[in-house]
Every structure is written in C-alpha cells, then in structure tokens.
Amino acid sequence: MLDQFLQSLQDTSIATAIREGETLFPWIECVHVLALTVVIGSIAIVDLRLIGLTSRDRSVIQTTASVLPVTWTAFTFAVITGGLLFASNATTYAHNFYFQVKIALIAMAGVNMAAYHLFLNRGADSWHTPQLTPFRARLVGGLSLCLWIAIAAFGRWIGFTINTPT
Amino acid sequence: MTLQSLDSFCSWLAATSVSQVIQTVGWVIPAVQTVHILAVAAVVTSALMIDLRLLGIRGTEQPIAAIARRFLPFIWWPLPILLATGAILIIAEPARALENPVFILKMGLLLAAAGITLACQIPLQRNPAFWEISAGRKRVARLIAVASMPLWVAIICAGRWIAYVQGT
C-alpha cells in the first residue's frame, strides 16, 4: 500500500524529470543545501541564546522574534526541495536507514520546539539578562542543537548509501 | 603550475598513505563533509543576518554595529574549520577538486565574499556608526548586502556542483 503510493509518486512526470534529467537533481540539491544551512544556522542562534552562550545582551524573546521568521522561510524551501529529491527516487529513499532516522530526528526536533513554545517558555519575557536562562531552556536549546547536527549528518549519509554523486 | 605537473601532483597526493586511509575508512568523508556543511551554516547564516540588517529587513531595532559585532565572529572563526575539512576532502580525492573548474570558481567566489565582508567590517571598526551616518552611506551598505548574498548562494551551489562536474 505504502510502496504502491511511493511508486506512483516516483512515476509522476516531475519525479521522472528530476530522476532522468542531467541537471535538475543537482540544482534542487543546491537549493536544499542553501535552505538547510540557513535553517540550522538560524536555529543555532536561538539555541545558543537559550543555553546562554551568545546574544546575551538581548532577550530570548527579541532573539526568537528576529530570527524565527528566517528559519521558517528557509525550512519551507528545505521541505519543498527535500520533497522533490525524495519523489525522484521515493521507493529507494523510503527504505534507506539514514533517511528514516533523519525524518524521525526532524520529528523529534519538532516535538522539542513545540514543547518549548507551548509549555516551557513561561516567563521567557524575563530572560533578558546575561545571567543563565532556566535549566529547562538550556535543556531545550542543547537538545535542539544536538538534534540538528545529527540531522545534517544523517542527511549527508543518505547520499553515501544511495547511488548518487557525493 | 602546468596541467601536467598538477596531474602528477594529484596522483602523488592520492597515493600517499594519508589519502589512502581517508579513502578506505568509509565514514571519514561523510563525517568531514558534515562538519564542513555545519561550518558553512554558521558562516552563511551570519552573513545573511548582517545583510538583512544592512537592507533594513531584520533586526532594525538595533544599530548595524551591534549586529555586526554579534555575527562577524561567526563568519571568520569557522573559516579555519572550513579550510581544514576542505583540505581533508582534497587529500582524499585531489583531482576531484584541484582539476575541477567549479572548485576554482568556488575559491574565487570565496575570496570575493571575504573581500566584501571586510569592506563592511573595516569601516565599522573605525566608526561604529559609519554605515548609518548619511543616506548615501546607507545606500552603499544596501549595495554591499545585495552583492554579498548572491556570492554566498553561488559558493554553496559551486560546492555542491563539484560532485557533478568532472575534472579537466
């Protein structure tokens, strides 16, 4: 059932064009890399502020307000380009161990982020001093940083376990 | 260096024991590429945050100098990491990079990006308000941002295309 869906995704004309074209795949990869560097870089700005290592002269809320719109814009591009790359070889990627772990890690990063925004950021408007933020904020930031580093690594490993130029 | 001697240099490097080890231990190249990409993320995002401030799109509640002070270190200090990881990748597969026109292009673009970053940074060190003193200066600052962003985009694209373009 799932395999049937993946196969039909892979048979769409756009997926076929990406798979069979000479230059479409690398160009989409370029946009994907560009988007993911901005996603990870901008999330790191927030994480390092939550941990209390950088931007300590600004409040956590000022930091998230100025950075997160950049993150979400880049994340949108990363998802679209990632989806296109996936579609081009859906059946192979879906069975790739590194791809599966990467998606699971992104989901975990999403849960971590949601937990922060829904429950853990109470009192964040008072986190505006160079002093350390509360432990829960440092935990969320540290966890997010580790998850995104791992996501980058697993993403890179997909290319080495599937037959594409690396 | 003539093409022939570059060729023999690449073959010599690829035959060294260091290169042989990197080539045979399967996890080294993806691991080094991951570190390389993470360092790129720090550099490119920092450049983007400065450029968006120069354009007046983000962080406008702070002076340009404050944004520059926050993010410029994250453009410069990942550079040694990028050079080191890049060097490891070159040692692993010398011809893949050194004989590749896209790699040469990437290095040229990198120099241009470094130059434009310095052009923004050096005046700020003498006068933190340098880019905000007059409408003319603000216009030049916006031009710097407009020139900087496509350079970083091109550097990343060139980096990815190295894998797809054959050496000469």
- Residue B50 belongs to some domain of the structure: yes
Cβ atoms within 10 A of the Cβ of A61, count? 15
Instruction: Name the closest residue on chain A to residue B75, using Cα atoms.
Output: A41
Confidence of residue A166 (pLDDT cuts 50, 70, 90): low
Mean pLDDT of B67-93: 95
Q: Collect all residues of chain A within an 8 Å Cβ-Cβ radius of residue B33.
A: 156, 166
Please answer yes or no on whether A41 and B44 come within 8 Å at the CB atom: yes
Residue B125's H or E segment, with its range, is: helix B101-126
Please answer yes or no on whether B61 and A62 come within 8 Å at the CB atom: yes
| Alpha-helix residue ranges (DSSP H) falling in chain A | 2-11, 13-20, 24-51, 60-88, 90-94, 97-115, 135-161
How many Cβ pairs within 8 Å bridge chains A and B? 83
Confidence of residue B26 (pLDDT cuts 50, 70, 90): confident
Please answer yes or no on whether B45 and A55 come within 8 Å at the CB atom: no
Task: Give residue B38's domain range.
Answer: 14-161
pLDDT at residue B153 in the model: 98
- Does the pLDDT at position A91 exceed 70? yes
pLDDT at residue A58 in the model: 82
Of A36, A66, A159, the CB nearest to B59: A66
- Residue B90 belongs to some domain of the structure: yes
- Does B81 lie at the interface with A, CB-CB under 8 angstroms? no
pLDDT at residue B168 in the model: 58
Confidence of residue B118 (pLDDT cuts 50, 70, 90): very high
Confidence of residue B167 (pLDDT cuts 50, 70, 90): low
Nearest to B102 by CA among A162, A30, A74, A38: A30
Residue to mutate among A31, A63, A66, with most B CBs inside 10 A, is: A66
- Residue B2 belongs to some domain of the structure: no
Q: Collect all residues of chain B within an 8 Å Cβ-Cβ radius of residue A160.
A: 26, 29-30
Mean pLDDT of A67-84: 96
pLDDT at residue A2 in the model: 86
- Does the pLDDT at position B1 exceed 60? no
Please answer yes or no on whether B160 and A29 come within 8 Å at the CB atom: yes
- Does B126 lie at the interface with A, CB-CB under 8 angstroms? no
Q: What is the ipTM of this complex?
A: 0.92
Distance from CA of B31 to the nearest CA of A (A): 7
Look at B82 and B166; give whichever has higher pLDDT: B82
Residue to mutate among B27, B102, B155, B160, with most A CBs inside 10 A, is: B160
Mean pLDDT of B114-122: 95
Please answer yes or no on whether A34 and B153 come within 8 Å at the CB atom: yes
- Residue B7 belongs to some domain of the structure: no
pLDDT tens, residue by residue, B8-19: 999 999 999 999
Report the number of distinct structural domains present in chain B. 1
As a whole number, the mean pLDDT across chain A is 91
To the nearest whole percent, how much of chain A has pLDDT over 70? 95
pLDDT tens, residue by residue, A24-41: 999 999 999 999 999 999
Do B46 and A41 meet the contact criterion of CB atoms below 8 Å apart?
Answer: yes
User: Rounded distance, CA A146 to CA A150, Å?
Assistant: 6
Could you give the angle at which helices A13-20 and A24-51 cross, rounded to 10 degrees? Answer: 100
pLDDT tens, residue by residue, B44-68: 999 999 999 999 998 888 899 999 9
- Does the pLDDT at position B166 exceed 90? no
Of A26, A38, A45, the CB nearest to B160: A26
